[in-house]
Amino acid sequence: MAAITLDNVVKTYPDGFMAVKGVDLEIADGEFVILVGPSGCGKSTLLRMIVGLEDITSGELRIDDQVVNDKAPRDRNLAMVFQNYALYPHLSVYENIAFPLRLTKGQFSDEEIDERVRKASSLLELDEHLERKPANLSGGQRQRVAMGRAIVRQAQAFLFDEPLSNLDAKLRGQMRTEIARLQRNLATTTVYVTHDQTEAMTLGDRVAVLRRGELQQVASPRGLYDQPLNLFVAGFMGSPPMNFLPGIVDGDTLRLPVAGVPLDERLRAAVGDREVVIVGIRPDSFEDADTLSAEKLDAGVRFEADVDVTEWLGEVFYAYVPFETHEAVREKLDELDRDLDGEGMRPQLVVALEAMSRIRAGDTA
C-alpha cells in the first residue's frame, strides 16, 4: 500500500489544451478518494497520469516518497479497473484473473498463482464461475473479475475509472456496496473517478471536486455537503441541487423571492455590507409547517407558496415553487449564471418534504 501525492500537476495535451491546471492532492496510505466533476473536467486525465498512461506535463507525482513521473506503468505497481473491464474474451475467469501474474514471466509459480486466484475469487464470490468465459457472465460478475485482476497483483493502490457506469441501477447499488466493503477489508489506497453523486457521497473517505482542470474542494462527503467552499461545489453536490435564491438586504430583513428572513447575528455576519446576495438553501432544509411544534415554528421562517408541480417518490415529496425575480438582482443572477455555466438560475424553489399522503398536489407547503 502507498500514499500518492500530486504536487502542482499539469497536463497539456499536444494540441495545446490544458486539461489539468496545477492540481495538489495528497492521498494517504489506505485512503479512499473520489475524483468527481462534470464531463470534461479532467478526472480521467488525472487518473491516467497517476497510473502512467498519460505523461505529466509539469509538476510532481510521488508514490510514497518516490517521484514516479517518468516510471513506466508496470513499475508503479498500481492496478487500474476500467469502465469496460478490459477482460480477455477468449480466456476463462480463472485465466483472466491470473493474467497479470502470468505476465511477470516466472516470478510466480503455478501454485502461487493458483493460491492467489482462488483467494481473490473467494473474496469476490466468483469461485463457481472460474471456468466460464466473460461473455457468459453478468455485468456485475465481469466487474468483479476486473477487480480480481487488480487484487491478485497485490498492487499498492487501486484506480477505478467509472467502473459502474455500464451497469443497471440495481446492480450499481450492489456493486457500490461491494466495492466499499472490499476496500474496507483490504484497506488498499484507492482513487475512484465518477460523475455519479451517490458514489461520490457514499464511497469515499474524501471527495475531490474538479472543474475545468482545477480542484475546487477536497473534503469528506459530509464536509462538502454542509460546508461547500463555493457556489460550484454547493450546486454540484446534492440531488435535487441546492436552491439559489437572490436576496436583497432591506434593513433588518433579507428579502427572498418567497419570504423575508430576519437578519440575525449569524446572517448579518455572512451578508457583511452587501446589498444583494445569493442564498443557498437545500431542498431538504424545508419542513411542512402543519407538522411542526409551536416551538419549532417560532424558530423558523414561515411562508406560503403556490406549488406548481409536485412529485411523490415514496420517502420524499418534492414541491416546485416558481418565483419572480426582482430587477435589482438581475446583475447578481447573471453573475451566478456565469459562475455555474448557465445552470445557476432556475426561477423556482425546490422543496423536499417527508412524503405524507395528505400533502396533495396544489396544497400549500
Do residues 317 and 355 lie in contact, with contact meaning Cβ atoms separated by under 8 Å?
yes
Q: Beta strands 157-161 and 78-81: pairing type?
A: parallel
Q: Measuring CA to CA, which residue among 12, 40, 152 is closest to residue 96? A: 152
Q: Hey, how many other C-beta atoms are within 10 angstroms of the C-beta on 80?
A: 23
Q: Does 248 bind ligand ATP (CB under 6 A)?
A: no
CB of 186 to ligand ATP, least distance (A): 25
CB of 232 to ligand ATP, least distance (A): 14
Q: Does 19 bind ligand ATP (CB under 6 A)?
A: yes
Q: Does 21 bind ligand ATP (CB under 6 A)?
A: no
Q: Does 211 bind ligand ATP (CB under 6 A)?
A: no
Choices 24-32, 38-46, 119-127, 294-302; region in contact with ligand ATP by CB under 6 A: 38-46
CB of 18 to ligand ATP, least distance (A): 8
Distances (CA, A) of 193 to 21, 33, 161, 190, 269: 17, 9, 5, 10, 37
Distances (CA, A) of 254 to 50, 263, 267, 336: 47, 6, 9, 18
Do residues 159 and 191 lie in contact, with contact meaning Cβ atoms separated by under 8 Å?
yes
DSSP string, 265-314: HHHHHHHTT-SEEEEEE-GGG---GGGS-HHHHHHS--------EEEE-S
Please say which residue, 45 or 96, places its beta carbon nearer to ligand ATP. Answer: 45
Q: Measuring CA to CA, which residue among 142, 146, 17, 131 is closest to residue 79? A: 146
Q: Does 216 bind ligand ATP (CB under 6 A)?
A: no
Please say which residue, 36 or 350, places its beta carbon nearer to ligand ATP. Answer: 36
Using DSSP, state whether 100 is helix, strand or coil: helix
Choices 40-48, 218-226, 305-313, 320-328; region in contact with ligand ATP by CB under 6 A: 40-48
User: What distance in Å separates the CA atoms of residue 209 and residue 201, rounded to the nearest whole number?
Assistant: 11
Do residues 130 and 92 lie in contact, with contact meaning Cβ atoms separated by under 8 Å?
yes
Using DSSP, state whether 55 is helix, strand or coil: coil
Q: Does 231 bind ligand ATP (CB under 6 A)?
A: no
Please say which residue, 42 or 344, places its beta carbon nearer to ligand ATP. Answer: 42
Q: Does 88 bind ligand ATP (CB under 6 A)?
A: no
CB of 48 to ligand ATP, least distance (A): 7
Please say which residue, 50 or 130, places its beta carbon nearer to ligand ATP. Answer: 50
CB of 164 to ligand ATP, least distance (A): 13
Choices 11-19, 88-96, 270-278, 309-317; region in contact with ligand ATP by CB under 6 A: 11-19
Q: Does 212 bind ligand ATP (CB under 6 A)?
A: no
Query: Which of residues 39, 185, 293, 357 is near ligand ATP by CB under 6 A?
Result: 39
C-alpha cell at position 119: 483467494
Q: Does 315 bind ligand ATP (CB under 6 A)?
A: no
User: What distance in Å separates the CA atoms of residue 179 and residue 75, rounded to the nearest whole number?
Assistant: 25
Choices 41-49, 122-130, 237-245, 256-264; region in contact with ligand ATP by CB under 6 A: 41-49
DSSP assignment, residue 289?
A: G
Strand partners, 217: 209
Distances (CA, A) of 127 to 94, 98, 141, 148: 9, 13, 11, 11
**According to CB under 6 A, which residues from 176 to 195 bind ligand ATP?**
195
Q: Does 82 bind ligand ATP (CB under 6 A)?
A: no
CB of 193 to ligand ATP, least distance (A): 6
Q: Does 197 bind ligand ATP (CB under 6 A)?
A: no
Please say which residue, 124 or 210, places its beta carbon nearer to ligand ATP. Answer: 210
Chain contacts with ligand ATP (rule: CB under 6 A): 13, 15, 17, 19, 37, 39-45, 195
